[in-house]
């Protein structure tokens, strides 16, 4: 049943329950379990808003403010994206979350052969600063922050955001941007990597260092356990690997002589709500606690606010089925309930049609309403951390903490995350787990409602859904704009800024200021990424079996 392992007796009564992270669940919990686990209120929980923040980051949690929600926007041309942005802001949204198309994510311009058929498909197409000027025209950049879902070329997009803001007359000290910028998880899960591992990490380090020195309101990294989980990780591994990745970035910046206290407070996280609800709740509570403990004990961070595990707990893509897609609406509601019961600060849900396509406006609205129902109708804002003190939840939270630490230790014993990813150890482990899990799902060992193994009724293609259509005109417009740009810009300036960028890349200077200059000169994303490709080479993915 569900994603946990259950054994039953001949009458169907449950005998054993084992969660994905490997924790065995007892039929009944009582005070003796807390005692056995060595539970200590002050050490393990503390008051909400107090170290180690197991209960909540803020003393009043949802009482003072309901969770914030984020919707992913951006498709087609920058002009169309700009219309969407304005509409969302008019509807009261205080932050934008920008999706980029695949060519942009991979550092190719719209006229590159590999961009064919992909321009504007899964997000906005960006070739140069001109496109950012169009997309963000009329947006109050000192009030509205922007999340940028970009990784391999995050440095380029951060620089472009700054250049665009400066063109519009905003000082770089007043703007706020949060690029995803988590290249190591791309190498584990989402596949939008370009450069070899150590160069990828160096670029993340450059952007953090630059944010510390020049962009006081920007958050340079958003760590995604989410995609690691989607790639086959257990909930404990999701947290453990994200933390180990965070440590790889922190260590890179610390080597530059910067104190962790200057930047760790600006890290945010993105975790997955998919799975057994109790396991997720324990995962989030344990994660808040472990992050704070790790920063305090290993990196000497003392300022309370810098110990916060800030971020978005949401999504749940792996839980969705293509069969009977309406069921996904219910699944989403329960995932969100789990997130709320664990005190998620920010959330967002996958839309029910996401197993098929980019969400349609209708399905995106349904997700938003689901979240509103929980906060405004069901009563989840009534009190802070309602499950605290539960014999079960507190025991489980402690066990989860143990499991996460075990997984972290394994990575550290193998020399840390950079090496484990470069050699493919993590990827091999996760693809094997994903395979075993999928087999279990197909044999009925794990259960998803509406997905009956062996039944011919659930022909996987037997559902028609409304589709978000691809429009070829996006590519035509982008290519025409690019051609016009290349005709009108100052080629000498482009060449000299790119040359300076190449030197910085080669001689280990921080590339960010050079990228800003390239952007101002209207160098294209493809040209800037091309300099990096030339200098760093491209990553060769390790085998996975």
Partner 1 sequence: MLKTKDILSGNKLAGARLIRFIEDNDPCAFKLLKELYPYSGNAFIIGITGPPGAGKSTLIDGLILEFRKYGKKVAVIAVDPTSPVSGGAILGDRLRMQRHAADDGVFIRSMASRGQAGGLSRATKDTALVFDAMGYDIIIIETVGAGQAEFEIAGLAHSIGVVSIPGTGDGIQAIKAGILETCDIFIVNKCDRPDADAKVLSLKMMLGMRKPDKTGWTPRIVKTIAPDGTGVKELADTFLSHFEFMEQNSSINEKRKELELLYFQSLLKDLTLEKILLFIKESKDFKAAAGKIKSRRMDPLTAAEKIVNKICVF
Partner 2 sequence: METKNKIRVLIAKPGLDGHDKGAKIVALALRDAGMEVIYSGLHQTLDQIIQTAIQEAVDVIGLSIMSGAHLPISEKLISMMKEKGIDDIRLTVGGVIPHQDIPGLKKMGVAKVFPGGTSFDDIISGMNSLFE
Task: Choose, by CB under 8 A, the member of 89, 434, 485, 500 that binds partner 2.
Answer: 434
Pair of tokens at residue 96: 């934008």
Residue with tokens 């062996």: 454
Site residues for partner 2, 502-541, by CB under 8 A, read 541
Beta-strand pair 145-149/95-99: parallel
Site string for partner 1, 278-297 (x = CB under 8 A): --------------------
Q: Which is nearer to partner 2, 277 or 441 (CB)?
A: 441
Q: Which is nearer to partner 1, 117 or 432 (CB)?
A: 432
Task: Choose, by CB under 8 A, the member of 106, 309, 374, 396 that binds partner 2.
Answer: 106
Which range of residues in 110-118, 396-404, 485-493, 520-528 is near partner 2 by CB under 8 A? 110-118
Does position 435 interact with partner 1 (CB under 8 A)? The reply is no
If phi > 0 it is left, if psi is from -120 to 50 it is alpha, else beta; for residue 119 that is beta
Site string for partner 2, 229-258 (x = CB under 8 A): -xxx--------------------------
Q: Cis before residue 52, ω within 30 degrees of 0?
A: yes
Residue with tokens 């080597």: 255
Q: How far is the CB of 453 from partner 2 (least distance, A)?
A: 7
Q: Are 173 and 142 in contact (CB under 8 A)?
A: no
Task: Choose, by CB under 8 A, the member of 137, 465, 485, 500 that binds partner 2.
Answer: 465
Does position 103 interact with partner 2 (CB under 8 A)? The reply is yes
Q: Are 240 and 280 in contact (CB under 8 A)?
A: no
Beta-strand pair 68-69/346-347: parallel
Pair of tokens at residue 482: 């690019």
Q: Which is nearer to partner 1, 300 or 415 (CB)?
A: 415
- Total number of residues that touch partner 1 (CB under 8 A): 11
Does position 196 interact with partner 1 (CB under 8 A)? The reply is yes
Does position 461 interact with partner 2 (CB under 8 A)? The reply is yes
Q: Which is nearer to partner 2, 117 or 216 (CB)?
A: 117
Does position 422 interact with partner 1 (CB under 8 A)? The reply is yes
Which range of residues in 224-232, 327-335, 456-464, 534-542 is near partner 1 by CB under 8 A? 534-542
Rounded to the nearest 10 degrees, what angle do helices 197-214 and 512-520 cross at?
80
Site string for partner 2, 332-371 (x = CB under 8 A): -----------------------xxxx-------------
Burial 168-183 (b: 16+ CB within 10 A, else e): beeebeebbbbbbbbb
Q: Which is nearer to partner 2, 30 or 460 (CB)?
A: 460
Going by the DSSP 8-state scheme, the letter that residue 100 receives in this structure is B
Q: How far is the CB of 118 from partner 2 (least distance, A)?
A: 6
SS3 for 317-386 is HHHCCCCCCCHHHHHHHHHHHHHHHCCCCEECECCCCCCCCCCCHHHHHHHHHHHHHHHHHHCCCCCCCC
Does position 15 interact with partner 1 (CB under 8 A)? The reply is no
Does position 416 interact with partner 1 (CB under 8 A)? The reply is no
Does position 216 interact with partner 2 (CB under 8 A)? The reply is no
Distance CA 414, CA 184 (A): 16
How many helices (H) and strands (E) the chain has is answered by 20, 11
For 341, residues 6+ apart whose C-beta sits below 8 A from its C-beta are 277, 281, 380, 386, 387
For 476, residues 6+ apart whose C-beta sits below 8 A from its C-beta are none
Site string for partner 2, 161-200 (x = CB under 8 A): -------------------------x--xxxxx-------
Query: N- to C-terminal Cα distance for the chain?
Result: 28
Which range of residues in 226-234, 263-271, 326-334, 399-407 is near partner 2 by CB under 8 A? 226-234
- Total number of residues that touch partner 2 (CB under 8 A): 49
Task: Choose, by CB under 8 A, the member of 423, 433, 463, 496 that binds partner 1.
Answer: 423
- Neighbouring C-beta atoms of residue 450, cutoff 10 Å: 15
Q: Which is nearer to partner 1, 255 or 455 (CB)?
A: 255
CA-CA-CA-CA torsion for 146, 150, 154, 160, nearest 10 degrees? -50
Residues lying near partner 1 in the complex (CB under 8 A): 196, 422-423, 537-538, 540-545
């Amino acid at each position: 049943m569900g994603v946990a392992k259950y054994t039953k007796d001949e009458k169907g009564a449950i005998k054993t329950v084992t969660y994905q992270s490997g924790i065995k669940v007892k039929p009944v919990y009582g005070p003796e379990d807390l005692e056995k686990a060595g539970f200590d209120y002050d050490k393990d929980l503390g008051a909400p808003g107090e170290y180690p923040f197991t209960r909540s980051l803020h003393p009043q949690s949802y009482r003072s403010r309901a969770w914030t929600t984020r919707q992913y926007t951006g498709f087609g041309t920058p002009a169309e994206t700009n219309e969407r942005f304005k509409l969302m802001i008019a509807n009261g949204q205080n932050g934008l979350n920008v999706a980029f198309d695949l060519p942009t994510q991979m550092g190719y311009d719209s006229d590159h052969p590999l961009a064919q058929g992909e321009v504007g498909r899964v997000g906005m197409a960006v070739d140069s600063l001109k496109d950012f000027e169009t997309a963000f025209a009329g947006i109050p950049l000192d009030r509205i922050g922007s999340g940028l879902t970009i990784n391999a070329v995050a440095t380029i997009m951060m620089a472009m955001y700054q250049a665009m803001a400066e063109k519009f007359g905003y000082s770089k000290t007043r703007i706020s941007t949060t690029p995803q910028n988590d290249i190591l998880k791309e190498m584990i899960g989402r596949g939008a990597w370009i450069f070899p591992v150590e160069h990828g990490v160096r670029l993340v380090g450059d952007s953090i260092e630059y944010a510390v020195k020049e962009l006081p309101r920007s958050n340079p990294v958003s760590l995604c356990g989410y995609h690691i989980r989607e790639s086959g990780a257990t909930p404990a591994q999701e947290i453990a690997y994200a933390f180990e990745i965070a440590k790889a970035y922190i260590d890179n910046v610390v080597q530059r002589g910067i104190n962790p206290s200057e930047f760790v407070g600006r890290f945010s996280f993105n975790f997955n709500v998919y799975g057994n609800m109790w396991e997720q709740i324990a995962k989030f509570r344990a994660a808040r606690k472990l992050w704070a403990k790790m920063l305090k004990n290993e990196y000497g961070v003392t300022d309370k606010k810098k110990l916060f595990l800030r971020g978005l707990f949401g999504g749940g893509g792996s839980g969705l089925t293509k069969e009977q897609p309406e069921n996904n609406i219910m699944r989403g509601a329960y995932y969100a309930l789990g997130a709320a019961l664990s005190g998620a600060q920010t959330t967002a849900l996958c839309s029910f049609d996401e197993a098929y396509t980019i969400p349609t406006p209708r399905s995106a609205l349904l997700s938003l309403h689901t979240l509103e129902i929980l906060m405004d109708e069901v009563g989840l804002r009534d009190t802070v951390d309602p499950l605290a003190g539960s014999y079960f939840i507190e025991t489980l939270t402690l066990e989860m903490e143990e499991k996460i630490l075990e997984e972290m230790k394994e990575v550290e014993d193998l020399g840390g995350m950079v090496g484990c990813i470069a050699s493919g150890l993590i990827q091999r482990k996760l693809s094997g787990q994903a395979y075993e899990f999928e087999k279990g799902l197909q044999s009925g060992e794990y259960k998803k409602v509406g997905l009956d193994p062996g039944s011919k009724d659930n022909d996987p293609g037997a559902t028609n859904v409304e589709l978000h259509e691809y429009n070829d005109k996006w590519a035509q417009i982008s290519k025409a704009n690019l051609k016009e740009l290349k005709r009108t810009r100052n080629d000498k300036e482009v060449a000299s800024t790119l040359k300076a960028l190449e030197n910085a890349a080669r001689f280990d200077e921080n590339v960010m200021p050079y990228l800003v200059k390239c952007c101002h000169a209207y160098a294209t994303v493809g040209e800037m990424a091309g300099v990096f490709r030339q200098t760093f080479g491209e990553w060769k993915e390790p085998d996975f079996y």
